[in-house]
């Protein structure tokens, strides 16, 4: 009885050689030649070729399959056969097909489409092989990131999305009405709250969506992106870099180990990922300025680096590079002043290789109450809103540090793709909040 064939997922098909199974999925593509239909079927876990031979199936069904449209939903019953030519090593020899829904004419065909069109159809574009591979790698990056911290005694401590004030700077906040008479802002980073939770729990991390209203239209900027942020009490800048390095090496290692077929779909040069080993070079801001000067891209001391500068710097290294001790003036208010040079902050950025730009921003936090108060004043931030934050200094202040890694930039780098818009299921960009 065909109804009794077990439902099997394509990524496990290898366990069912020569057995009868049922696949539940969608028609990805097809071609026909007289007596044969070759159906490319996908079920979310993978793609497989299912072959219908005229002599094997009901003649009416054979005709129906000829007219089956792309992305029709179907259940395919058949026998799993080993096949050397198949990318997954197996194909299905069809015995019967149940068509659930004959799809309307599908807008995304195997031919080339423009980016704007694909972005308008993002909800359907997700079904393509390339997007399928990217999203599985994204899930792996997130899984590996969570495991990294969970396995090392970090406590996940979620931080709020509605916040009363800025963390990274006031110019790029999304304001929302918080009931009748109050304003709130969508968070730019969980860091300030993680500083409080790390004073309670020692080693913490938060992981959630963050929002930036900056008017940047680049291949590295989203207005909504996901960030994983560890924060550790009694950790200094060196410890912060050690942690960031170990973490990134482990995440890349897990992706290479568990998502090799997906990296191959993306034609990623895997040797470049295998080269991601400790130690990562650590250079100062001043040394980075020298590199830029030599490359004919001078930057005035005191300016932050943009994407172009980061690309030039990254070209000198085959793995991520740390740039530490930026000028205080170009960084956020909470950065700890370098006790050896008051002009510098004990902060660090990790710049990805191959021009992927800043993957991580972080550093040691100002733990001196007086200095922190003067920074809040200098940055014209509302002192009232920061009283709770100052309490972390009032009551048992300790050196502490942390960082934030942007998931989408990291996925973009690991996948070797050009633009972050493909690294998140539904990207939010300067000019796009749909679908
Ligand atoms: O350097 P950022 O702004 O650092 C912070 O928010 C710190 N409070 C984090 C911390 O120390 N806990 O952002 C950190 C990372 C960047 O390195 C980048 O990977 C990513 O977040 N990021 C963005 N990703 C996509 N689109 C944007 N607009 C991004 N802005 C930052
Ligand atoms: Mg930054």
Determine which residue's CA is closest to atom 18 belonging to ligand 1. 406
Task: Indicate the top mutation candidate among 206, 218, 406, 414 to test ligand 1's pocket, ranked by most ligand atoms within 8 A of CB.
Answer: 406
* Position in ligand 1 atom list of the atom nearest CA 410: 19
Q: Which SS3 state, helix, strand or coil, does residue 4 take?
A: helix
Could you tell me the pLDDT band of residue 171, with boundaries at 50, 70 and 90?
confident
Is the alpha carbon torsion for 291, 312, 281, 206 positive or negative?
Answer: positive
Ligand minimally distant from the alpha carbon of residue 362: 1
Give residue 215 CA to ligand 1 midpoint distance, Å: 15
Residue 118 to residues 142, 223, 368, Cα–Cα distance (Å): 25, 19, 51
DSSP, res 45: S
* 222 in contact with ligand 1, CB cutoff 6 A: yes
400 burial level (CB within 10 Å; 0-12, 13-18, 19+)? buried
Spell out where 214-309 has E strands.
224-233, 282-284
Residue 203: in which H helix or E strand, if any? strand 203-211
Q: Which atom of ligand 1 is nearest to the CA of 229?
A: 12
**Which tokens in the block code for residue 216?**
């940047």
369, 396 in Cβ contact below 8 A? no
Place 1 in a pLDDT band, splitting at 50, 70 and 90: confident
Residue located nearest, by CA, to atom 23 of ligand 1: 406
pLDDT in tens, 260-308: 999 999 999 999 999 999 999 999 999 999 999 999 999 999 999 999 9
The CA 168 to ligand 1 mean position distance, Å, reads: 9
Residues with CB under 5 A from ligand 2 (ion): 361
Q: What pTM was computed for the model?
A: 0.96
What residues have CB less than 8 Å from 27, skipping those under 6 apart? 39, 40, 41, 68, 69, 70, 71, 72, 73, 74, 103
Report phi then psi at 259, rounded to 5. Answer: -130, 35
Please identify, by atom number, the ligand 1 atom nearest to the C-alpha of residue 334: 8
- Does 408 contact ligand 1 (Cβ within 6 A)? yes
Cα 404 to averaged position of ligand 1 atoms, centre (Å): 6
Give the position, in ligand 1's atom list, of the atom nearest the Cα of 191: 12
Ramachandran angles phi, psi of 28, nearest 5°:
-90, -40
**CB distance 362 to ligand 1 below 6 Å:** yes
Residue 407 has what pLDDT? 98
Q: What string of H, E and C letters represents the secondary structure of 55-86?
A: HHCCHHHHHHHHCCCCCCEEEEEEEEEECCCC
What is the pLDDT at residue 156?
Answer: 98
168 ligand 1 Cβ < 6 A? yes
According to DSSP, the residues that pair with 402 across neighbouring strands are 231, 363
Task: Name every residue whose Cβ is closer than 8 Å to that of residue 370 and which is 6 or more positions away in sequence.
Answer: none
- DSSP codes joined into one string, 134-149: HHHHHHHHHHHHHHHH
pLDDT grade for 111, boundaries at 50, 70 and 90: confident
Q: How far apart are CA 163 and CA 315, in angstroms?
A: 38
């Amino acid at each position: 009885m065909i109804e009794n064939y077990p439902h099997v997922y394509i990524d496990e098909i290898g366990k069912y050689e020569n057995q009868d199974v049922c696949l539940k999925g969608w028609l990805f593509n097809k071609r026909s030649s007289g007596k044969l239909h070759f159906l490319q079927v996908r079920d979310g876990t993978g793609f497989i070729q299912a072959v219908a031979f005229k002599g094997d199936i009901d003649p009416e069904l054979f005709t129906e399959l000829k007219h089956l449209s792309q992305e029709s939903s179907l259940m395919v019953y058949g026998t799993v056969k080993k096949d050397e030519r198949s990318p997954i090593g197996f194909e299905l020899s069809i015995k019967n097909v149940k068509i659930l829904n004959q799809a309307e004419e599908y807008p995304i065909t195997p031919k080339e489409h423009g980016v704007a069109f694909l972005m308008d159809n993002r909800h359907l574009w997700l079904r393509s092989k390339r997007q399928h591979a990217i999203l599985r790698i994204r899930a792996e990056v997130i899984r590996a990131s969570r495991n990294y911290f969970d396995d090392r005694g970090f406590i996940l401590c979620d931080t709020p999305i509605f916040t009363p004030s800025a963390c990274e700077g006031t110019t790029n906040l999304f304001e929302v009405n918080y009931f009748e008479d109050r304003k709130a802002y969508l968070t730019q980073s969980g860091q300030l709250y993680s500083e409080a939770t790390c004073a309670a729990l020692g080693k913490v991390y938060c992981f959630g969506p963050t929002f930036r209203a900056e008017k940047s239209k680049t291949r590295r900027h989203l207005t909504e992106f996901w960030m994983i942020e560890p924060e550790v009490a009694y950790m200094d800048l060196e410890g912060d870099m050690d942690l960031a390095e170990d973490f990134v090496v482990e995440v890349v290692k897990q992706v290479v180990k568990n998502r090799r077929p997906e990296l191959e779909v993306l034609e990623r040069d895997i040797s470049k990922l295998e080269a991601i080993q400790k130690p990562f070079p650590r250079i100062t801001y001043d040394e980075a300025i020298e590199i830029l000067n030599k490359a004919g891209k001078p930057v005035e001391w005191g300016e932050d680096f943009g994407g172009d500068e980061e690309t030039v710097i990254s070209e000198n290294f085959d793995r991520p590079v740390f740039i530490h001790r930026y000028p205080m003036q170009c960084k956020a208010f909470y950065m700890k002043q370098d006790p050896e040079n008051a002009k510098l902050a004990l902060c660090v950025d990790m710049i990805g290789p191959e021009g992927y730009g800043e993957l991580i921003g972080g550093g040691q936090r100002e733990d001196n109450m007086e200095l922190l108060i003067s920074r809040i004043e200098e940055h014209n931030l509302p002192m009232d809103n920061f009283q709770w934050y100052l309490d972390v200094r009032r009551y048992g202040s300790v050196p502490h540090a942390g960082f934030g890694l942007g998931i989408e930039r990291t996925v973009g780098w690991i996948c070797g793709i050009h633009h972050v818009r493909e690294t998140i299921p539904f990207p939010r960009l300067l000019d796009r909040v749909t679908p």
